[in-house]
């Protein structure tokens, strides 16, 4: 089945404005808070007991439109429970945007048990004024036996059904999607969740995968989930808070992220960058333009008292995280998110694996990719596998040609004439003169290609030749690798000629 993101539309909380591949800029309407959150959005995690950065400051200094806190901690706290009930969460925390509350499932996964039911915690979330509540799902870890994954998914699904029957008023409700590392279970879980009346779709239990840099597995899980959801389903990647992976995760089609990392890392004197994590101890310079890094040196922070340094590091971590999210959004607007992902994928070999795994889902990326964008930049081996290349290859099968056709690199001149002359550019392959000014053939490409780009172009030639048995094809591709030329379909002639 060809993937179509728009095959079902029944929700109205979320609306996509622009796509780039499977990435999108969208608007999530949160009725209880009476706000519209632009996605992709970063939700800072606020621990109600330890507010490293006050929620009001998250809003005023960092532009946070949405945050997340844990209702299970509030429910279990003698100090805060009554305050939360009396004042409401927004007043208690001092945050006027949308507040998401988690349910204690993460504590369940960490400590083996919790003492609330889905009904109790959802009612509590509604009572304290949460804008998006969460039932008690079971975060099944990666790589467990199939039986455990199925059994726990059954329980999660029962809890989603329970959640549907709870009186939640205007509060939106999360429908977490589990299924461990089984792709088919993740798709089934997504179809089930989408079939409930619930509103937001967090992909659960990926924290262990994030902690061990298993980006290819994450990519496969997100793909499996997305195939089970309609295009109007907002997707939250639970626990993903490192700015290094925002571009990749957004390219997978995730809309919401929660960051506890900004605070947790600051506590351990760790400094986030879009390329990875640094230790304060090992930094001589701050490679960042934020106010903290402009006004201080690493040496100064090391000499400060711990609380002050922790706070400044947390602020830097937030600046970097929100900054990267803005960069990702601008890239979606401009249609060059793939170029940004290709850059970020160079930061760590496992991120490259994640990006390569994402490109295995080319049909899904292509289904929502716009037909035209700003110039395609061929900047890495992976560029040859982008959805634009695949779409061009399929378009080649629809041409109806006869006569003698020359397929030539632009600079080649020949001493005989043909009925038609087409250009050939890696990684796309052949195209008629009429398409030369059309996306994606306006691409900026290097003069020296890797073998993969020639092979992709050779695939384009194969498609065109096989779709046109009545035509004859001659190639003038002098600078192509011999093995790629040798793999062209039988009957394709090589021109004798001279180089211009």
Residues engaged in binding ligand GUN (CB under 6 A): 102-103, 105-106, 134, 137, 139, 176, 204-205, 207, 238-239
Three-class SS state of 36: strand
User: Does the annotation count 374 as an active-site position?
Assistant: no
With contact defined as beta carbons under 8 Å apart, do 476 and 409 qualify? yes
What is the phi/psi pair of residue 404, to 5°?
-100, 120
Residue 464 makes CB contacts below 8 A (sequence gap 6+) with 396, 397, 399, 401, 407, 429, 430, 473
Candidates 5-13, 256-264, 283-291, 366-374; binding stretch for Zn ion (CB under 5 A):
283-291
Pull the structure tokens for residue 108: 């369940």
Our finding on whether 283 is near Zn ion (CB under 5 A) is no
Near Zn ion by CB under 5 A: residue from 293, 352, 357, 453: 293
Partner from ligand GUN, Zn ion, none binding residue 176, C-beta < 5-8 Å depending on class: ligand GUN
CB of 247 to Zn ion, least distance (A): 19
Partner from ligand GUN, Zn ion, none binding residue 204, C-beta < 5-8 Å depending on class: ligand GUN
Q: Which helix (H) or strand (E) holds 38?
A: strand 35-39
CB of 204 to ligand GUN, least distance (A): 3
Q: Nearer Cβ to ligand GUN, position 33 or 200?
A: 200
Angle at 35 between CA 72 and CA 203, to 5 degrees: 50
Three-class SS state of 491: coil
Partner from ligand GUN, Zn ion, none binding residue 106, C-beta < 5-8 Å depending on class: ligand GUN
Partner from ligand GUN, Zn ion, none binding residue 134, C-beta < 5-8 Å depending on class: ligand GUN
Exposed, middle or buried by CB within 10 Å (0-12, 13-18, 19+), for 178? buried
Residue 254 annotated as lining a ligand binding site: no
Our finding on whether 492 is near Zn ion (CB under 5 A) is no
Partner from Zn ion, ligand GUN, none binding residue 316, C-beta < 5-8 Å depending on class: Zn ion
Residue 205 annotated as lining a ligand binding site: yes
CB of 115 to ligand GUN, least distance (A): 16
Q: Nearer Cβ to Zn ion, position 217 or 269?
A: 269
Residue from 102, 199, 232, 255 carrying the catalytic annotation: 102
Partner from Zn ion, ligand GUN, none binding residue 288, C-beta < 5-8 Å depending on class: Zn ion
Near Zn ion by CB under 5 A: residue from 316, 329, 386, 463: 316
What is the C-alpha separation between 189 and 229, in angstroms, rounded? 10
Looking up tokens 């960042």 gives 288
Select from 365, 304, 363 the least CA-distant residue to 335.
Answer: 365
CB of 318 to Zn ion, least distance (A): 9
Cis bond upstream, residue 121 (ω within 30): no
CB of 43 to ligand GUN, least distance (A): 11
Our finding on whether 375 is near Zn ion (CB under 5 A) is no
Measured between its terminal Cα atoms, the distance across the chain in Å is 47
Our finding on whether 314 is near Zn ion (CB under 5 A) is no
With contact defined as beta carbons under 8 Å apart, do 408 and 423 qualify? yes
Cis bond upstream, residue 361 (ω within 30): no
Residue 137 annotated as lining a ligand binding site: yes
CB of 91 to ligand GUN, least distance (A): 25
Candidates 101-109, 148-156, 285-293, 393-401; binding stretch for Zn ion (CB under 5 A):
285-293
Q: Nearer Cβ to ligand GUN, position 135 or 298?
A: 135
With contact defined as beta carbons under 8 Å apart, do 322 and 42 qualify? yes
Q: Nearer Cβ to ligand GUN, position 134 or 472?
A: 134
How do 35-39 and 41-46 pair as beta strands? unpaired
Q: Nearer Cβ to Zn ion, position 278 or 388?
A: 278
With contact defined as beta carbons under 8 Å apart, do 163 and 175 qualify? yes
Cα atoms in the 13 Å half-sphere on the side-chain side of 68: 26
Q: Give residue 104's region: left, alpha or beta (phi > 0; psi -120 to 50).
A: left
Residue 369 annotated as lining a ligand binding site: no
Pull the structure tokens for residue 443: 């691409």
Near Zn ion by CB under 5 A: residue from 61, 290, 379, 485: 290
What is the phi/psi pair of residue 323, to 5°?
-60, -45
Pull the structure tokens for residue 258: 């929660």
Our finding on whether 159 is near Zn ion (CB under 5 A) is no
Q: Nearer Cβ to Zn ion, position 233 or 293?
A: 293
CB of 230 to ligand GUN, least distance (A): 21
What is the C-alpha separation between 414 and 418, in angstroms, rounded? 10
Binding-site annotation: residue ranges:
137, 205, 288, 290, 293
Binding-site annotation: residue ranges for substrate:
137, 205
Binding site for Zn ion (CB under 5 A): 288, 290, 292-293, 316
Residues acting as catalytic residues: 102
């Amino acid at each position: 089945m060809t993937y179509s993101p728009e095959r079902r539309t029944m929700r109205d909380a979320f609306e996509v404005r622009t796509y780039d591949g499977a990435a999108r800029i969208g608007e999530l309407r949160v009725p209880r808070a009476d706000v519209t959150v632009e996605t992709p959005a970063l939700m800072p995690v606020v621990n109600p007991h330890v507010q490293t950065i006050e929620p009001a400051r998250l809003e005023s200094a960092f532009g946070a439109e949405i945050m997340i806190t844990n209702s299970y901690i509030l429910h279990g706290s003698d100090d805060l429970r009554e305050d939360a009930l009396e004042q409401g969460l927004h007043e208690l925390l001092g945050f006027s945007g949308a507040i998401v509350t988690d349910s204690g499932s993460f504590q369940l996964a960490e400590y083996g048990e919790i003492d609330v039911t889905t009904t109790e915690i959802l009612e509590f979330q509604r009572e304290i004024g949460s804008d998006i509540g969460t039932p008690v799902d079971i975060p099944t870890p990666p790589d467990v036996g199939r039986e455990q994954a199925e059994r726990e998914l059954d329980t999660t699904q029962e809890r989603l059904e329970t959640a549907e029957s709870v009186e939640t008023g205007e509060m939106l409700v999360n429908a977490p999607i589990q299924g461990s590392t089984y792709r088919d279970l993740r798709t089934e879980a997504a179809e089930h969740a989408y079939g409930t009346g619930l509103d937001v779709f967090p992909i659960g239990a990926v924290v262990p995968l994030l902690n061990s840099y298993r980006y290819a597995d994450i990519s496969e899980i997100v793909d499996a989930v997305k195939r089970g959801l309609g295009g109007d389903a907002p997707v939250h990647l639970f626990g993903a808070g490192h700015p290094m992976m925002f571009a990749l995760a957004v390219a997978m089609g995730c809309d919401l992220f929660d960051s506890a990392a900004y605070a947790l890392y600051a506590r351990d004197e760790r400094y986030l960058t879009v390329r990875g994590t640094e230790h304060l101890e090992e930094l001589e310079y701050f490679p960042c333009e934020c106010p903290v890094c402009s006004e201080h040196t690493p040496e100064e922070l090391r000499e400060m008292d711990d609380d002050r340094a922790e706070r400044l590091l947390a602020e830097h971590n937030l600046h970097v995280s929100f900054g990267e999210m803005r960069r990702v959004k601008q890239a979606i607007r401009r249609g060059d998110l793939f170029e940004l992902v290709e850059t970020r994928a160079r930061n760590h070999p496992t991120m490259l694996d994640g990006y390569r795994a994402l490109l295995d889902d080319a049909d899904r990326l292509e289904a929502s990719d716009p037909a035209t964008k700003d110039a395609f930049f061929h900047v890495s081996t992976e560029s040859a596998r982008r959805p634009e290349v695949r779409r061009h290859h399929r378009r080649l099968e629809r041409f109806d040609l006869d006569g003698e056709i020359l397929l030539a690199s632009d600079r080649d001149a020949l001493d005989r004439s043909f009925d038609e002359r087409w250009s050939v550019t890696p990684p796309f392959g052949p195209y008629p003169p009429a398409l030369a000014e059309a996306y994606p053939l306006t691409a900026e490409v290097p003069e020296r290609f890797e073998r993969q780009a020639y092979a992709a172009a050779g695939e384009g030639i194969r498609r065109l030749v096989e779709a046109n048995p009545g035509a004859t094809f001659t190639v003038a591709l002098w600078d192509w690798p011999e093995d790629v030329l040798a793999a062209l379909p039988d009957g394709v002639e090589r021109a004798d000629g001279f180089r211009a």
